[in-house]
Structure 1
Amino acid sequence: MISIDPQGVEKAIDSGMSDELWSMEFDGRCSSSGSGVGVVLIPPQGKVIPYALKLEFQSTNNTAEYEALLLGLVEARRLQIKMLKVRGDAELIVKQVRGLFVVKNKRLIHYRNRVWDKIKAFYAFSIEAVPRELNLKVDSLAVSAALLVPHSDFTTDTYRVELVYRPCMPDNSES
Protein backbone atom coordinates (compact mmCIF):
# COMPACT_ATOMS: atom_id res chain seq x y z
CA MET A 1 0.00 0.00 0.00
CA ILE A 2 1.44 3.36 1.08
CA SER A 3 4.81 3.93 2.73
CA ILE A 4 4.68 6.96 4.99
CA ASP A 5 7.77 8.21 6.83
CA PRO A 6 9.59 4.86 6.51
CA GLN A 7 12.30 5.74 9.05
CA GLY A 8 9.73 6.55 11.74
CA VAL A 9 7.74 3.39 11.04
CA GLU A 10 10.82 1.17 11.20
CA LYS A 11 11.91 2.83 14.45
CA ALA A 12 8.48 2.04 15.88
CA ILE A 13 8.80 -1.61 14.91
CA ASP A 14 12.42 -1.86 16.13
CA SER A 15 11.53 -0.32 19.49
CA GLY A 16 8.91 -3.00 20.12
CA MET A 17 6.01 -0.58 19.94
CA SER A 18 4.14 -3.08 17.80
CA ASP A 19 3.64 -5.14 21.00
CA GLU A 20 1.87 -2.21 22.65
CA LEU A 21 -1.67 -0.99 22.11
CA TRP A 22 -1.96 1.16 19.00
CA SER A 23 -5.01 3.17 17.97
CA MET A 24 -6.47 3.58 14.53
CA GLU A 25 -9.02 6.08 13.25
CA PHE A 26 -10.73 5.63 9.90
CA ASP A 27 -13.23 7.42 7.70
CA GLY A 28 -14.59 7.14 4.18
CA ARG A 29 -16.29 9.76 2.04
CA CYS A 30 -18.39 9.48 -1.08
CA SER A 31 -19.92 12.42 -2.93
CA SER A 32 -20.50 13.65 -6.45
CA SER A 33 -17.10 15.40 -6.30
CA GLY A 34 -15.21 12.20 -5.51
CA SER A 35 -14.61 9.40 -3.05
CA GLY A 36 -11.75 9.02 -0.63
CA VAL A 37 -10.64 7.34 2.55
CA GLY A 38 -8.50 8.45 5.43
CA VAL A 39 -6.76 6.38 8.09
CA VAL A 40 -4.51 7.40 10.94
CA LEU A 41 -2.47 4.84 12.87
CA ILE A 42 -1.43 6.16 16.28
CA PRO A 43 1.46 4.51 18.13
CA PRO A 44 1.61 4.56 21.95
CA GLN A 45 4.34 7.18 21.63
CA GLY A 46 5.55 9.03 18.62
CA LYS A 47 4.22 10.51 15.43
CA VAL A 48 0.89 9.49 13.89
CA ILE A 49 0.98 7.73 10.54
CA PRO A 50 -1.62 9.14 8.09
CA TYR A 51 -2.93 7.42 4.97
CA ALA A 52 -5.16 8.93 2.28
CA LEU A 53 -6.54 7.21 -0.80
CA LYS A 54 -8.70 8.51 -3.61
CA LEU A 55 -11.14 5.85 -4.78
CA GLU A 56 -11.28 5.79 -8.56
CA PHE A 57 -14.18 3.38 -8.74
CA GLN A 58 -17.88 3.58 -8.04
CA SER A 59 -18.57 3.43 -4.33
CA THR A 60 -21.11 4.32 -1.69
CA ASN A 61 -20.54 5.88 1.73
CA ASN A 62 -20.69 2.43 3.31
CA THR A 63 -18.23 0.82 0.89
CA ALA A 64 -15.87 3.80 1.30
CA GLU A 65 -16.02 3.32 5.08
CA TYR A 66 -15.25 -0.40 4.71
CA GLU A 67 -12.40 0.41 2.29
CA ALA A 68 -10.92 2.76 4.92
CA LEU A 69 -11.27 0.18 7.69
CA LEU A 70 -9.68 -2.55 5.57
CA LEU A 71 -6.82 -0.29 4.50
CA GLY A 72 -6.07 0.47 8.13
CA LEU A 73 -6.18 -3.19 9.17
CA VAL A 74 -3.86 -4.21 6.33
CA GLU A 75 -1.39 -1.45 7.20
CA ALA A 76 -1.53 -2.32 10.90
CA ARG A 77 -0.63 -5.92 10.14
CA ARG A 78 2.10 -4.81 7.73
CA LEU A 79 3.59 -2.84 10.63
CA GLN A 80 3.31 -5.98 12.78
CA ILE A 81 0.92 -4.32 15.21
CA LYS A 82 -0.57 -6.95 17.50
CA MET A 83 -3.01 -4.94 19.62
CA LEU A 84 -5.29 -2.38 18.02
CA LYS A 85 -8.11 -0.12 19.20
CA VAL A 86 -10.15 1.17 16.24
CA ARG A 87 -12.42 4.20 16.15
CA GLY A 88 -14.65 5.46 13.36
CA ASP A 89 -17.76 7.59 12.98
CA ALA A 90 -19.55 5.04 10.76
CA GLU A 91 -21.85 3.58 13.41
CA LEU A 92 -23.50 1.19 10.95
CA ILE A 93 -20.15 -0.29 9.89
CA VAL A 94 -18.91 -0.58 13.48
CA LYS A 95 -22.11 -2.32 14.58
CA GLN A 96 -21.97 -4.68 11.59
CA VAL A 97 -18.37 -5.61 12.40
CA ARG A 98 -19.26 -6.14 16.07
CA GLY A 99 -22.17 -8.38 15.03
CA LEU A 100 -24.78 -6.06 16.55
CA PHE A 101 -26.50 -5.27 13.23
CA VAL A 102 -27.54 -7.79 10.60
CA VAL A 103 -25.95 -7.10 7.22
CA LYS A 104 -28.50 -7.43 4.44
CA ASN A 105 -26.58 -6.04 1.47
CA LYS A 106 -24.64 -8.85 -0.23
CA ARG A 107 -21.66 -6.63 -1.05
CA LEU A 108 -21.43 -5.36 2.52
CA ILE A 109 -21.58 -8.95 3.80
CA HIS A 110 -18.41 -9.63 1.79
CA TYR A 111 -16.75 -6.52 3.21
CA ARG A 112 -17.75 -7.41 6.77
CA ASN A 113 -16.44 -10.96 6.34
CA ARG A 114 -13.13 -9.66 4.96
CA VAL A 115 -12.82 -7.40 8.03
CA TRP A 116 -13.54 -10.38 10.32
CA ASP A 117 -10.78 -12.34 8.54
CA LYS A 118 -8.30 -9.49 9.07
CA ILE A 119 -9.21 -9.09 12.74
CA LYS A 120 -8.20 -12.70 13.48
CA ALA A 121 -4.54 -11.72 13.01
CA PHE A 122 -4.54 -9.43 16.08
CA TYR A 123 -3.95 -10.62 19.65
CA ALA A 124 -6.22 -7.86 20.95
CA PHE A 125 -8.74 -5.86 18.94
CA SER A 126 -11.58 -3.49 19.69
CA ILE A 127 -13.72 -1.25 17.52
CA GLU A 128 -16.02 1.56 18.59
CA ALA A 129 -18.15 4.24 17.00
CA VAL A 130 -17.36 7.83 17.92
CA PRO A 131 -19.23 11.04 17.17
CA ARG A 132 -18.26 12.72 13.91
CA GLU A 133 -16.78 15.71 15.76
CA LEU A 134 -14.21 13.38 17.37
CA ASN A 135 -13.19 12.03 13.97
CA LEU A 136 -12.43 15.34 12.22
CA LYS A 137 -8.74 14.85 11.42
CA VAL A 138 -9.25 11.54 9.63
CA ASP A 139 -12.44 12.87 8.01
CA SER A 140 -10.47 15.76 6.56
CA LEU A 141 -7.88 13.27 5.23
CA ALA A 142 -10.69 11.46 3.40
CA VAL A 143 -11.94 14.78 1.98
CA SER A 144 -8.38 15.70 0.99
CA ALA A 145 -8.05 12.41 -0.88
CA ALA A 146 -11.47 12.64 -2.52
CA LEU A 147 -10.85 16.15 -3.82
CA LEU A 148 -7.07 15.80 -4.32
CA VAL A 149 -6.53 18.90 -2.20
CA PRO A 150 -3.62 18.97 0.29
CA HIS A 151 -4.51 18.57 3.95
CA SER A 152 -3.55 21.57 6.08
CA ASP A 153 -2.59 19.55 9.20
CA PHE A 154 -0.13 17.29 7.40
CA THR A 155 2.78 18.25 5.19
CA THR A 156 3.52 16.54 1.91
CA ASP A 157 6.52 14.77 3.44
CA THR A 158 4.32 12.98 6.00
CA TYR A 159 1.62 11.62 3.73
CA ARG A 160 0.61 11.28 0.15
CA VAL A 161 -2.60 10.43 -1.64
CA GLU A 162 -2.68 7.15 -3.52
CA LEU A 163 -5.16 6.50 -6.32
CA VAL A 164 -6.97 3.18 -6.00
CA TYR A 165 -8.64 1.79 -9.10
CA ARG A 166 -10.13 -1.39 -7.66
CA PRO A 167 -12.12 -1.98 -4.48
CA CYS A 168 -10.94 -4.40 -1.80
CA MET A 169 -14.04 -6.43 -2.66
CA PRO A 170 -14.40 -6.77 -6.45
CA ASP A 171 -17.94 -6.96 -7.83
CA ASN A 172 -17.43 -10.57 -8.85
CA SER A 173 -16.19 -11.64 -5.41
CA GLU A 174 -17.71 -14.82 -4.01
CA SER A 175 -16.06 -14.70 -0.58
Structure 2
Amino acid sequence: MSSPEATGRMALWAVELNDFDIQYRPRTAIKGQVVAVFIAEFTQMDAQGVEEIPHWNIYTDGSSNKQAGGAGVVLISPEEDRIECMIRLEFPTINYKAEYEALIVRLDLARTTRIENMIIHCDSQIITSQVNGSYECKNERMKKYLDKVKGRIGSLQIKFVQIPREKNECANRLAKVASAERIVVPN
Protein backbone atom coordinates (compact mmCIF):
# COMPACT_ATOMS: atom_id res chain seq x y z
CA MET A 1 0.00 0.00 0.00
CA SER A 2 1.65 3.16 -1.12
CA SER A 3 -0.95 5.79 -0.19
CA PRO A 4 -2.01 6.60 3.40
CA GLU A 5 -5.65 6.84 2.28
CA ALA A 6 -5.69 3.22 1.00
CA THR A 7 -3.99 2.02 4.18
CA GLY A 8 -6.66 3.76 6.26
CA ARG A 9 -9.48 2.15 4.25
CA MET A 10 -7.89 -1.29 4.68
CA ALA A 11 -7.64 -0.72 8.46
CA LEU A 12 -11.36 0.23 8.65
CA TRP A 13 -12.35 -2.86 6.70
CA ALA A 14 -10.17 -5.03 8.94
CA VAL A 15 -11.98 -3.68 12.05
CA GLU A 16 -15.43 -4.21 10.44
CA LEU A 17 -14.65 -7.75 9.24
CA ASN A 18 -13.04 -8.78 12.55
CA ASP A 19 -16.52 -9.37 14.07
CA PHE A 20 -17.33 -12.00 11.41
CA ASP A 21 -14.08 -13.99 11.72
CA ILE A 22 -13.24 -13.32 8.09
CA GLN A 23 -9.61 -13.48 7.18
CA TYR A 24 -7.97 -11.96 4.14
CA ARG A 25 -5.87 -14.26 1.98
CA PRO A 26 -4.17 -12.83 -1.06
CA ARG A 27 -5.07 -14.48 -4.34
CA THR A 28 -2.36 -16.79 -5.59
CA ALA A 29 -1.39 -17.13 -9.21
CA ILE A 30 -3.27 -19.68 -11.27
CA LYS A 31 -0.83 -22.36 -12.33
CA GLY A 32 -0.56 -23.22 -16.00
CA GLN A 33 -1.37 -26.88 -15.32
CA VAL A 34 -4.69 -25.94 -13.72
CA VAL A 35 -5.64 -23.94 -16.79
CA ALA A 36 -4.62 -26.83 -19.06
CA VAL A 37 -6.72 -29.31 -17.05
CA PHE A 38 -9.72 -26.96 -17.15
CA ILE A 39 -9.43 -26.60 -20.93
CA ALA A 40 -9.07 -30.37 -21.37
CA GLU A 41 -12.14 -31.10 -19.25
CA PHE A 42 -14.18 -28.40 -20.98
CA THR A 43 -13.17 -29.67 -24.41
CA GLN A 44 -14.11 -33.26 -23.54
CA MET A 45 -17.61 -32.17 -22.51
CA ASP A 46 -18.14 -30.58 -25.93
CA ALA A 47 -16.93 -33.70 -27.74
CA GLN A 48 -19.24 -36.12 -25.90
CA GLY A 49 -21.93 -35.83 -28.56
CA VAL A 50 -19.51 -36.58 -31.38
CA GLU A 51 -19.23 -40.21 -32.43
CA GLU A 52 -15.65 -41.45 -32.55
CA ILE A 53 -14.56 -42.94 -35.86
CA PRO A 54 -12.99 -46.38 -35.36
CA HIS A 55 -9.26 -46.34 -35.99
CA TRP A 56 -6.43 -48.81 -36.29
CA ASN A 57 -3.45 -48.65 -33.94
CA ILE A 58 -0.19 -49.36 -35.70
CA TYR A 59 3.10 -49.88 -33.87
CA THR A 60 6.42 -49.94 -35.67
CA ASP A 61 10.11 -50.16 -35.01
CA GLY A 62 13.31 -50.56 -36.99
CA SER A 63 16.55 -52.30 -36.19
CA SER A 64 19.91 -52.45 -37.91
CA ASN A 65 23.25 -54.20 -37.76
CA LYS A 66 26.30 -54.53 -40.06
CA GLN A 67 24.71 -56.99 -42.49
CA ALA A 68 21.05 -56.02 -42.70
CA GLY A 69 18.17 -54.15 -41.19
CA GLY A 70 14.75 -55.15 -40.02
CA ALA A 71 11.34 -53.61 -39.58
CA GLY A 72 8.65 -54.73 -37.18
CA VAL A 73 5.02 -53.71 -37.68
CA VAL A 74 2.05 -54.54 -35.47
CA LEU A 75 -1.42 -53.61 -36.71
CA ILE A 76 -4.32 -53.68 -34.24
CA SER A 77 -7.81 -53.35 -35.68
CA PRO A 78 -10.69 -51.50 -33.98
CA GLU A 79 -11.95 -54.97 -32.99
CA GLU A 80 -8.55 -55.71 -31.32
CA ASP A 81 -7.42 -58.20 -34.00
CA ARG A 82 -3.60 -58.26 -34.29
CA ILE A 83 -1.46 -58.58 -37.38
CA GLU A 84 2.29 -58.86 -36.77
CA CYS A 85 4.78 -58.42 -39.60
CA MET A 86 8.54 -58.51 -39.75
CA ILE A 87 10.42 -57.35 -42.81
CA ARG A 88 14.08 -58.08 -43.46
CA LEU A 89 15.95 -55.29 -45.21
CA GLU A 90 18.58 -57.06 -47.31
CA PHE A 91 21.00 -54.16 -47.28
CA PRO A 92 23.27 -52.60 -44.68
CA THR A 93 21.50 -49.73 -43.03
CA ILE A 94 21.49 -47.47 -40.01
CA ASN A 95 18.76 -47.27 -37.42
CA TYR A 96 16.87 -44.19 -38.65
CA LYS A 97 16.68 -45.69 -42.17
CA ALA A 98 15.26 -48.89 -40.70
CA GLU A 99 12.72 -46.81 -38.73
CA TYR A 100 11.67 -44.98 -41.90
CA GLU A 101 11.51 -48.26 -43.85
CA ALA A 102 9.20 -49.65 -41.15
CA LEU A 103 7.02 -46.55 -41.45
CA ILE A 104 6.87 -46.88 -45.24
CA VAL A 105 5.95 -50.58 -44.95
CA ARG A 106 3.12 -49.87 -42.54
CA LEU A 107 1.75 -47.11 -44.77
CA ASP A 108 1.86 -49.52 -47.73
CA LEU A 109 0.10 -52.17 -45.63
CA ALA A 110 -2.53 -49.63 -44.61
CA ARG A 111 -3.15 -48.60 -48.22
CA THR A 112 -3.30 -52.25 -49.37
CA THR A 113 -5.84 -53.16 -46.69
CA ARG A 114 -7.78 -49.90 -47.27
CA ILE A 115 -7.21 -48.60 -43.74
CA GLU A 116 -7.92 -44.87 -43.82
CA ASN A 117 -8.07 -43.85 -40.16
CA MET A 118 -5.13 -44.81 -37.95
CA ILE A 119 -2.88 -43.83 -35.09
CA ILE A 120 0.75 -44.69 -35.75
CA HIS A 121 2.84 -45.30 -32.64
CA CYS A 122 6.61 -45.01 -32.94
CA ASP A 123 9.32 -44.87 -30.27
CA SER A 124 11.64 -42.71 -32.40
CA GLN A 125 11.25 -39.09 -31.38
CA ILE A 126 13.14 -37.80 -34.40
CA ILE A 127 10.98 -39.72 -36.89
CA THR A 128 7.64 -38.72 -35.33
CA SER A 129 8.76 -35.10 -34.92
CA GLN A 130 9.92 -34.86 -38.54
CA VAL A 131 6.70 -36.38 -39.87
CA ASN A 132 4.57 -34.12 -37.63
CA GLY A 133 6.61 -31.10 -38.76
CA SER A 134 7.93 -30.03 -35.36
CA TYR A 135 11.54 -30.94 -36.35
CA GLU A 136 13.17 -29.79 -39.54
CA CYS A 137 14.76 -32.50 -41.64
CA LYS A 138 18.26 -31.34 -42.63
CA ASN A 139 19.89 -34.59 -43.79
CA GLU A 140 19.34 -35.17 -47.52
CA ARG A 141 18.89 -38.94 -47.13
CA MET A 142 16.34 -38.44 -44.37
CA LYS A 143 14.52 -35.85 -46.53
CA LYS A 144 14.10 -38.50 -49.24
CA TYR A 145 12.57 -40.89 -46.71
CA LEU A 146 10.36 -38.12 -45.29
CA ASP A 147 9.15 -37.25 -48.81
CA LYS A 148 8.31 -40.93 -49.43
CA VAL A 149 6.31 -41.04 -46.19
CA LYS A 150 4.42 -37.82 -46.93
CA GLY A 151 3.69 -39.04 -50.44
CA ARG A 152 2.13 -42.21 -49.06
CA ILE A 153 0.03 -40.38 -46.46
CA GLY A 154 -2.06 -38.56 -49.09
CA SER A 155 -5.70 -38.44 -48.01
CA LEU A 156 -5.31 -40.88 -45.11
CA GLN A 157 -6.32 -39.70 -41.65
CA ILE A 158 -3.19 -40.40 -39.64
CA LYS A 159 -2.03 -39.28 -36.23
CA PHE A 160 1.62 -39.91 -35.37
CA VAL A 161 2.37 -40.48 -31.69
CA GLN A 162 5.76 -40.90 -30.07
CA ILE A 163 5.64 -43.55 -27.35
CA PRO A 164 8.18 -44.87 -24.82
CA ARG A 165 10.26 -47.85 -25.95
CA GLU A 166 8.62 -50.03 -23.27
CA LYS A 167 5.22 -49.66 -24.97
CA ASN A 168 6.66 -50.76 -28.31
CA GLU A 169 8.17 -54.09 -27.25
CA CYS A 170 6.36 -56.31 -29.76
CA ALA A 171 7.36 -54.24 -32.82
CA ASN A 172 10.89 -53.90 -31.41
CA ARG A 173 11.20 -57.66 -30.96
CA LEU A 174 9.95 -58.28 -34.53
CA ALA A 175 12.45 -55.75 -35.94
CA LYS A 176 15.36 -57.32 -34.05
CA VAL A 177 14.46 -60.81 -35.22
CA ALA A 178 14.13 -59.58 -38.82
CA SER A 179 17.59 -57.97 -38.71
CA ALA A 180 19.28 -60.97 -37.09
CA GLU A 181 22.10 -62.73 -38.97
CA ARG A 182 20.25 -66.01 -39.06
CA ILE A 183 16.62 -66.63 -38.51
CA VAL A 184 15.96 -70.13 -37.21
CA VAL A 185 12.50 -71.36 -38.11
CA PRO A 186 11.29 -74.30 -36.00
CA ASN A 187 10.04 -77.36 -37.94
TM-score by length of 2: 0.67
CA deviations 1:25-76 (Å, max 9, x no partner) are: 0000012364211001110114211111111112110100000000000001
Identity of aligned residues (%): 32
SS at match of 1:135: helix
CA distance in structure 2 between the aligned counterparts of 1:142 and 1:105, rounded to whole angstroms = 24
Higher helix share: 2
- The residue aligned with 1:52 is 86
- The residue aligned with 1:31 is 65
TM-score by length of 1: 0.71
TM alignment of 1:1-150, pairs within 5 A: 20-32=54-66, 34-122=68-156, 124-147=157-180, 148-149=182-183
Conserved? CA contact 1:77–1:121, under 8 Å: no
**Greater relative contact order (Cα 8 A, min sep 6): structure 1 or 2?**
1
Between stretches 43-52 and 135-144, larger displacement belongs to 43-52
**May I ask how many residue pairs the two structures share in their alignment?**
134
RMSD: 2.0
Higher strand share: 1
- 5+ residue gaps, structure 2: 1-52
> Post-superposition shift, 1:150?
6.1
CA distance in structure 2 between the aligned counterparts of 1:58 and 1:94, rounded to whole angstroms = 23
Conserved? CA contact 2:68–2:91, under 8 Å: no
Between stretches 86-95 and 49-58, larger displacement belongs to 49-58
TM alignment of 1:163-174, pairs within 5 A: none
- 5+ residue gaps, structure 1: 1-18, 157-175
